[in-house]
Amino acid sequence: MIPFAVKIEGVNNGQPVWVLAVSEAGLLSADNGVLKWYPLEDCTFSHVIPPDMPKPVMIVQPQPGNGIALPNRQMRRHPGGA
């Protein structure tokens, strides 16, 4: 599904919200961290993100001592230890 946003009557002070799922009965969105189904007749299309538009990526460096062990090349090639 291509990410798109809608304005929902009476929700979020008219600000667009991202749609997470769509069915015949309505659409699923998160308002203030709460997932809720809204009737389609209360929704107005706002905008869409084209599939060819670049998406931001954040590079995170692992911190020493955080308990995450990244596999080395040997472990990736021979996961059973063989």
User: Domain count of the chain?
Assistant: 1
Residue 12 lies in a domain: yes
Q: Name the residue range of residue 4's domain.
A: 1-49
Distance between CA atoms of residues 19 and 24, nearest Å: 14
Quick one: DSSP state of residue 61?
Answer: P
- What tokens does 53 get? 């538009």
Q: Is residue 58 part of a domain?
A: no
Band of residue 68 on the pLDDT scale cut at 50, 70, 90: low
Whether 27 is covered by a domain: the verdict is yes
**Strand pairing report for 34-39 and 17-22:** unpaired
Give pLDDT tens digits for 16-64: 998 999 998 899 988 777 888 999 999 999 999 887 877 777 777 766 6
Q: Tens of pLDDT along 12-25?
A: 888 899 899 999 88
In a domain, residue 1? The reply is yes
Q: Would the pTM of this model clear 0.85, i.e. be above it?
A: no
- Domain-embedded: residue 54: no
